[in-house]
Amino acid sequence: MKKKILIGLLVLLVVIQFIRVDKTNPPVDVTQDFITITKPPVEIVSLLKTACYDCHSNETNYPWYFNVAPFSWWAKDHVNDGRKHLNYSIWATYNKERQTHKLDEMYGEVEEDQMPLSSYELMHNEAELTTEQRITLVNWLRTLDVVE
């Protein structure tokens, strides 16, 4: 009986590999991008690209594990959810109030070590921000003025 269950689970694991996630990124108009608009220093660009842009932009890099179900489903859901909450690639489309709100959320979540998510940092240790990097990023975010 245990052998049949194990074989069934193995077959199921193989079959679900054929259910692929869409790894196509939406087009990017750099004129609408947060980095283009805010013109951060190189150090901030690096922090944003390393710790934020994979889940919060249309520039997601899909590593090898995005080919392994069911993990790929979970990870793709995180990307979709991240883009829904904040998408740096469409920053210019946000109205002034939304930009202000998103900036408040950004520095609050970075400062409180809620972003990047620890589950993301497990597979992307380069995205784990040091205390100094968090302070640098938060201080820069707080200097931004939202312009209509």
Classify burial at 50, counting beta carbons within 10 Å of its beta carbon; exposed 0-12, middle 13-18, buried 19 or more. middle
Average pLDDT of the residues in 13-17: 82
Which sign does the torsion angle of CA 36, 42, 45, 28 carry?
positive
Average pLDDT score over the chain: 91
Higher pLDDT, 32 or 146: 32
Q: Over pLDDT 70: what percentage of the chain?
A: 98
Q: In angstroms, how far is CA 22 from the centroid of its own chain?
A: 16
Domain boundaries, the chain: 22-143
pLDDT of residue 79: 93
Per-residue model confidence as pLDDT tens digits over 55-76: 999 999 988 888 899 888 988 9
pLDDT of residue 42: 97
Query: If you count them, how many residues does the chain have?
Result: 148
Per-residue model confidence as pLDDT tens digits over 38-56: 999 999 999 999 999 999 9
Contact by Cβ (8 Å): 40, 53: no
pLDDT of residue 17: 86
Question: Is the pLDDT at 91 greater than 70, yes or no?
Answer: yes
Query: Could you give the C-alpha distances from 146 to 71, 94, 127, 141, in angstroms and in order?
Result: 38, 10, 26, 11
Give the C-alpha separation, 42 to 48, whole Å. Answer: 10
Report pTM: 0.86
Contact by Cβ (8 Å): 60, 25: yes
Question: Is the pLDDT at 147 greater than 70, yes or no?
Answer: no
pLDDT of residue 10: 85
pLDDT of residue 4: 86
Confidence of residue 146 (pLDDT cuts 50, 70, 90): low
Query: Could you give the C-alpha distances from 8 to 12, 13, 14, in angstroms and in order?
Result: 6, 9, 10
